[in-house]
Structure 1
Amino acid sequence: MLAEDPRTTAVLNSDIRDTTKIFESSAVRRLLRDDQPVGALFVSVLDCIPDDDDPWELVCRVCQQLPSGSYLVISQLASDDLELCRRITGFMQEITDNSWGRVRSIGEVNRFFEGLDVLEAPEPVEVSRWLPDSDLAPRQRSKEWIEYGGVARIG
């Protein structure tokens, strides 16, 4: 469905960590122009990338390739309860044959936004609370771990 308008969308079957291959693809080159901002969405994907693959560097490489004025969207499982992080990460690694990343602390997720202009809040937030349309929207009830994220403008 996303590929229906090739003027605005590209769908690639690539490893997200191979940014060189992604940005050299004709589909992506066709969409990027120096004077037209775009959005890079890392929604519920960075927690799937192990620390050994340096997800912070991955985000940095993507930001460096985007035109000025583009936006970065990030959300990822996060908790400051280190024991809970360890348990959830262990479970996910067990069911994915150790190929999953991990739940990160709030501070570790905030590192993704370093040097960028974060929108609407002084820092990212639990995503169901970011710019809610109304008080009727469902909110995450658990505070032990959350889907945490935000939006930043790339200078």
Structure 2
Amino acid sequence: MRDTEWIPQGVDPERASAARMYDYYLGGQHHLPADVELAERVMDLLPQTPLIMRANRAFLQRAVRYCADAGIRQFLDVGAGIPTQGPVHEVARSIAPEARVVYVDNDDAAVLHSRELLRQDTLSAAIRGDLRDVEAILTDPDVKSLIDFDEPVALLFLSVLQFIPDGDDPFGALDRYRDALAPGSRLVLSHATDEGLTEQAEEITDIYARSENPIRYRSQEAVLCFFGDFELCEPGLVHIPRWRPDGTDEEQAHLGQVLGAAGVGVKP
């Protein structure tokens, strides 16, 4: 998408964002030349990056179906980006047509496009919010109108916590989110890990440092800490394509190539 008229006032079109780079990796249309430039640099270092992103999206879809099958009817997707390419509301409603979904992102352009895509959808909303500001998100009027925290909620953090530095205490933020959930709620989470990367991790970190969303890799042990006392569903915290795979040919292609950890936890 080359035309910059859709970018909200105050957004620098010359500075890439992780949300729009993700859209580019997935083959979407909501990105700018600055996003493409940095995404291509990442792909030069890690050619399977689009494959990793598609595997992450496929995990989201499998996890949402699992949550809906378990009776969850409300979903809060934090760091959602732009809800295209098989988004939460479409997947959840293939099982539960009454499912309610709120998308949260701190990228103004992502929120603008999300609202445009959802303008006729009375059971979904998109809000601007920073996942570190837990109380602001949980008390947002659109969240409160669609999400009842006295009932189980599926809380999603798909490949977003890697953009929050340790100094901003993402572990403390997750503690507060988990505390707000009712028993039976699910925490769906994926995260970039440093496993299998050597000098590539440092170089990719340097590339993302030029965007609005610097990245940092964490170990699988560190990612596990985000679940706190939630009970991990089988098969636990695993490589992204190994979480309850559907057995498709594409998933088989992901095995051995896709980096990162994914899991779903249940609040006791």
Question: Could you say if the C-alpha distance between residues 111 and 14 of structure 1 is closer, same or farther in structure 2, counting changes exceeding 3 Å?
Answer: same
Corresponding residue pairs, total = 149
Q: Could you say what the CA RMSD is over the residues aligned between the two structures, in angstroms?
A: 2.2
| Partner Cα distance (1:3, 1:152) in 2 | 32
Counterpart selection for 1:78 from 193, 205, 211: 193
Counterpart selection for 1:45 from 160, 177, 188: 160
Mapped pair 1:105 → 2:223? no
Amino acid at match of 2:241: S
Question: Could you say if the C-alpha distance between residues 4 and 111 of structure 1 is closer, same or farther in structure 2, counting changes exceeding 3 Å?
Answer: farther
Amino acid at match of 1:53: D
Gaps of 5+ in 2: 1-116
Task: Give the share of equivalent positions with the same residue, in percent.
Answer: 32
- Greater RCO (CA < 8 Å, at least 6 residues apart): 1
Counterpart selection for 1:92 from 204, 208, 211: 208
**Which residue of the partner structure matches residue 6 of structure 1?**
122
Amino acid at match of 1:117: E
Structure 1 or 2: larger helix share? 2
| Partner Cα distance (1:154, 1:2) in 2 | 30
| Partner Cα distance (1:70, 1:4) in 2 | 28
Q: CA deviation at 1:2?
A: 4.7
Q: CA deviation at 1:3?
A: 6.0
| Partner Cα distance (2:127, 2:195) in 1 | 34
| Partner Cα distance (1:114, 1:86) in 2 | 28
**Which residue of the partner structure matches residue 230 of structure 2?**
116
Q: CA deviation at 1:42?
A: 0.2
**Which residue of the partner structure matches residue 130 of structure 2?**
15
Which residues of 2 match residues 134-153 of structure 1 at below 5 A?
134=247, 136=249, 137=251, 138-142=253-257, 146-153=259-266
The normalised TM-score by structure 1 is 0.82
Counterpart selection for 2:146 from 5, 23, 31: 31
Q: CA deviation at 1:60?
A: 1.3
